[in-house]
Amino acid sequence: MKNVLVTGGAGFIGSNFIRYLLRTETNIRILNFDALTYAGNRENLADLEGDPRYRFIQGNICDAAQVDSVIREYQVDTIVHFAAESHVDRSILGPRQFIETNVMGTFTLLDAARNYWLKENVLPLDSVRFHHVSTDEVFGSLKPGEPAWTEETPYAPNSPYAASKAASDHLVRSYGHTYGLPYTITNCSNNYGPYQFPEKLIPLIILNAMDGKPLPVYGDGQQVRDWLHVEDHCEAIHLVLTKGKIGSTYNIGGENQPANLSIVETICDILDEIDSNPAHKPHRRLIQFVKDRPGHDRRYDMDTRKIRAELGWSPRHTLDQGLLDTVRWYLSHPEWVASIRQKHEYEGWLDANYKLR
């Protein structure tokens, strides 16, 4: 890796990955290519703007001309593709954007890489890599007692978001099989940690609880997820990029499966302990059960034996410590939180998704 194009690098996982890569690699140039939609925030990496190894480029992955130009101008040898519409609730309210970004955007990147790396043969084939970041949601939903998903589990997506990611995974594999494009794919579980846009469960609960607002819990709150700290995810991706087998897929998970209600209650208990504002304690009294979302998957569970065995990866963060660190991060970054809340679109989405329930 010398010239790395990170798509969606101003988002939650992408910005954390860029920080991780700059800490880990020295002889590298990172191009952060992001459209700065509602969840993209250039301020996530504002302190890196003076680093000569880092450059921000505002652009849309569906813009073939711009993608082609950037890849050629900077002689990109590695693409790490995070850019995606990624929230199930939003995909239910408006699926079109998910198809355009997640499917057509991935196609645009793949074709640009194929043209530059394979057709024009500018760089040695063994020096290039297309890494696609996907999700566990492509596998569908597990029943109680069913074994965890492996890399060989058939896809069975249940939401427009999951279907769009499944389609993009298939596109990546097809470019590897048909054209010989060097690729790897990772399917990760639910991420959490610093800089996560508060439409997702953990930051939403933290920020609402800090303000004494209702803490919305879908249905009975017994949906089970695997929670992966974003720093563990970044380490796993780096290992796949540097040591993973071309044409391989790796599952990445936090190796825990609590119910969503348990996550919410744990955050409430943490805030009871460390939040200096006593007005909203005990925070559990703010929990409010709301109508479940359509087609809500019941349980996810990732089998991570492959990445453990081949690359020696395992999560470093326990869920309890990771949640504590995450709550502390949001409490200690009020300016970042304020900048998110000033976005009119964010408050409008909260109203559309929760108040009507």
CA 125/CA 118 separation, integer angstroms: 8
**What token pair was written down for 34?**
């992001």
Which amino acid would we find at residue 305?
A: R
Query: How far is residue 137 CA from its own chain's centroid?
Result: 12
Catalytic, out of 85, 89, 136, 199: 136
Contacts of residue 92, Cβ cutoff 8 Å, sequence gap at least 6: 159, 160, 293, 294, 295
Helix-, strand-, coil-residue percentages of the chain, each rounded to 5: 50, 15, 35
- Distance, CA of 74 to chain centre: 25
Tokens of 246: 């071309």
- Going by C-alpha positions, the residue among 186, 39, 170 that lies closest to residue 106 is 170
CB atoms within 10 A of CB 123: 16
Residue 259 to residue 223: CA distance in whole angstroms = 5
Provide the token pair at 159: 């939401």
The single residue of 161, 192, 195, 218 carrying the catalytic annotation is: 161
| 310 has catalytic annotation | no
Please indicate whether residue 161 is annotated as part of the active site: yes
Q: Is 137 a catalytic residue?
A: yes
Catalytic residue selected from 137, 255, 265, 301: 137
Residue located via tokens 């010398």: 2
Between helix 160-179 and helix 106-113 the angle, nearest 10°, is 10
Are the C-beta atoms of residues 201 and 127 closer than 8 Å to each other? no
- Residue numbers annotated as active site: 136-137, 161
